[in-house]
Amino acid sequence: MKIVIGCDHAGFGIKDAVIKHIEEMGHEVVDVGTYSADSCHYPVYASAACKKILDGECALGILICGTGIGMSMAANKHKGIRAACCSDVFSARLTREHNDANMLCFGERVVGIGTALDLVDAFLGAEYLNNGNHVTRVAMLADIEKSN
Ligand code: RB5
């Protein structure tokens, strides 16, 4: 798969290790920045990453900031993006399986590098359970987007 990754300054400290891990899993990574620890604004990088998914270049994405929350809020403003902010492995797997999440967000200030890599494994290793009520509910999310 082709995976897009983005971060702000508060996620920059673990971004390279996350990229290396994803590449070792056999995936290709598109890095939309930020490229230094200088203070920056997370919505810029959330948007850049979301565009890569929405234009079809990348299948899934990872966004890292201090908490993961700002990134997930910004990402979820994009129609067609289903971003989940996770700090536990169970949620990272289930959000792929049940919510068809296409963006995983987490916070460098919340999770250590070990948990970050486990979150990535769980998210990228899971598949959407494309049936029954899951399909109905994900379609309902799209309906909410259309009505707003
Ligand atoms: C930056 O200080 C921090 O606010 C940001 O990385 C993120 O945690 C926001 O949700």
Identify the band that residue 96 occupies on the pLDDT scale cut at 50, 70 and 90.
Answer: very high
State the pTM of this model.
0.98
Does residue 108's CB lie within 6 angstroms of at least one atom of ligand 1? no
pLDDT per residue as tens digits for the range 124-135:
999 999 999 999
Residues 103/63, Cβ–Cβ less than 8 Å: yes
Does residue 65's CB lie within 6 angstroms of at least one atom of ligand 1? yes
Report how far apart, in Å, the C-alpha atoms of 130 and of each of 16, 68, 69, 114, 127 are.
32, 26, 27, 30, 8
Domains and CATH numbers, the chain: 2-147 (3.40.1400.10)
Measured between its terminal Cα atoms, the distance across the chain in Å is 32
- The span from the CA of 103 to the CA of 101, in Å, is 6
The sign of the CA dihedral 35, 36, 37, 39 is negative
Q: Atom 4 (ligand 1): residue with closest C-alpha?
A: 66
Q: Catalytic: 98?
A: yes
